Amino acid sequence: MKKGLLLSTFVKVRWLQKWSSRQQLEAYQEKAVSKQLSYMKKHSPYYSQCKEEPLPLMDKEKMMRHFDELNTVGVKKEQAFEIALQGERTRDFQEDYQGISVGLSSGTSGNRGIFLTSETEQAIWAGTILARMLPKEKLLNHRLAFFLRADNQLYQTIQSKAIQLAYFDMYQSFEEHLARLNHYQPTILIAPPSVLLRLAQAIKEKHLAIYPTRIISVAEILETRDEEYLKECFSLSVIHQIYQCTEGFLGCTCEHGTLHLNEDIVKFEKEYIDEKRFYPIITDFKRTSQPMLRYRLNDILVAADQPCACGSVFESIEKIEGREDDIFIFNGLKQKEVAVYPDFIRRCLLFVSEVRDYQVIQTASNQLIIKAQGLSETTQQKIIQEFAKLAADQEFEQPMIRFQPYEQEQEKKMKRIQRIVE
């Protein structure tokens, strides 16, 4: 690992690299993107043949189809998949491919993707994420507890004499995790919301006694109700978030709790859905082994109305609402179909105070399954009434609702709102 590069990146991001205006930032981006495009034209067989201006959009399906000729390090898709799958089977994630770390996305959007990182990229990632996420009042002697479905050499680059990182495999026993956490006493806890909620419940039930000074939510959407519950259980004023996926380190919260896009390493174009919602189209100008050029994500981001009080020129995001395939499609009363964004579905459950953990699944244009624990007939009627109000407001046919028990599977990502329509 290139410790010198990690340290220099940390210093630059934490203290030296500042922009006083959007214009200054955009000028920096333009120069960095131009340099990146020149590099890819020389080193990526795919882009060396591409003559279109501007570059055509890329997505996960297209990237996996052209994986071999896209990457600049000669990694073959079949061999990379085998390394990544072997790590998943054995739970040993240390093997690499000719010095390149290989990881596998969880495939929540229906397409599993491979991601590559070189030693240089790992050092830059680690330096950037530490600079952004370590508390201002304390830089050293942290004990990080990190929960994720799969480990990767990328994450282990954080490990050092000054910072301990303990990986907690989500496939392992939760009771073992509690015992280990009680002994380890992390100062920073990094986990998906589904895990954080279970840990919070364990604290309430006196099975866990830890006092982290920072909680960082990753990998899943952090809903407002869950965020407030975590603040209460961990006695913290802010629950931090990292917006990271296969495609890169895309955003994180500031000390005020606002999610900012990482515009010093990624340029964001926007494909607007309405006045505030958009799909991001990213160009990563720090990553060279696997090009991310005009890559369209299917995440639904909601732009903030006001700039953040922290003063950052990086764009503020109100929330990550969900994915494109989480938008529910109902039979319309005045038109053939009505699209309903995930937030409107969440609100139907938010107004029913008896419901805490839940999942709403659309299985057909007129059918929903709602999973929750211990729903009385009265509570079920309240939920049905909320969906009736939504149907009337949005002018679609009221769906039939079936209720089922809710149980979060530890090894799977939590998706509160999900559309599974054949």
pLDDT tens string 311-347: 999 999 999 999 999 999 999 999 999 999 999 999 9
pLDDT at 84: 82
Domain boundary among 323, 349, 370: 323
**C-alpha distance from residue 132 to each of 125, 189, 192 (Å):** 11, 15, 19
Distance, CA of 147 to CA of 158 (rounded, Å): 14
Q: In this structure, are 292 and 361 located in the same domain?
A: no
217 and 234 share a domain? yes
Q: What is the pLDDT of residue 41?
A: 96
Residues 351 and 206 in one domain: no
Structural domain of 120: 1-323
Please indicate, yes or no, whether residues 194 and 292 belong to a single structural domain of this protein: yes
Pairing of strands 163-169, 188-191: unpaired
With 0-12 / 13-18 / 19 or more C-beta atoms within 10 angstroms meaning exposed / middle / buried, residue 143 is middle
| Model confidence band, residue 206 (pLDDT cutoffs 50, 70, 90) | very high
Across 45-52, average pLDDT: 95
Residues 36 and 177 in one domain: yes
β-pairing verdict for 188-191 and 142-148: parallel
Beta-bridged to residue 361, according to DSSP, are: 369, 418
CB 375 within 8 A of CB 404: no
102 with 86, same domain: the answer is yes
Contact 218, 175 (CB under 8 A): no
Give the CATH number for residue 275. 3.40.50.12780
Tell me: do 139 and 206 sit in the same domain.
yes
What is the residue-averaged pLDDT of the chain? 92
Total domain count, the chain:
2
Task: Report d(CA 383, CA 379) in Å as an integer.
Answer: 6
Closest CA to 420 of 359, 379, 374, 372: 359
User: Percentage helix, strand, coil, to 5, in the chain?
Assistant: 35, 25, 40
Locate 4 and state its tokens: 């010198």
* Contact (Cβ atoms closer than 8 angstroms) between residue 13 and residue 249: no
Give 74 or 109, the one with higher predicted confidence: 74
Whether the Cβ atoms of residue 285 and residue 265 lie closer than 8 Å to each other: yes
Same domain, 346 and 313: no
Label residue 114 by pLDDT band (50, 70, 90).
confident
Q: Kindly state whether residues 220 and 271 are assigned to the same domain.
A: yes
Residue 92's pLDDT band (cuts 50, 70, 90): low
Q: In terms of domains, do 304 and 377 share one?
A: no
- Same-domain check for residues 384 and 263: no
Q: In the block, which residue shows the tokens 């079920």?
A: 380
Above pLDDT 70, what percent of the chain? Answer: 95
Helices (H) and strands (E) in the chain, counts: 13, 20
Tokens 């559309």 sit on residue: 419
* pLDDT, tens digit, 9 for 90 and up, residues 225-258: 999 999 999 999 999 999 998 889 999 999 999 9
Element (H, E) at 116: strand 114-117
User: Residue 387 sits in a domain of what CATH number?
Assistant: 3.30.300
- The most confident of 1-5, 80-84, 275-279, by mean pLDDT: 275-279
In this structure, the answer to whether residues 174 and 303 fall within a common structural domain is yes
Fill in the DSSP letter of residue 315. P
Long-range Cβ pairs for the range 229-232 (8 Å, 24+): 229/197, 229/200, 229/356, 230/193, 230/196, 230/197, 230/200
Q: HEC profile for 154-217?
A: HHHCCCCCCEEEEEEECCCCHHHHHHHHHHHCCCEEEECHHHHHHHHHHHHCCCCCCCCCEEEE
- Which of 323, 355, 384 is where one domain is finished? 323
Which of 272, 293, 323 is the last residue in one of the domains?
323
Amino acid 245: pLDDT? 86
Cα-Cα-Cα-Cα torsion 147, 318, 399, 194, nearest 10 degrees, comes to: 10
pLDDT for res 284: 98
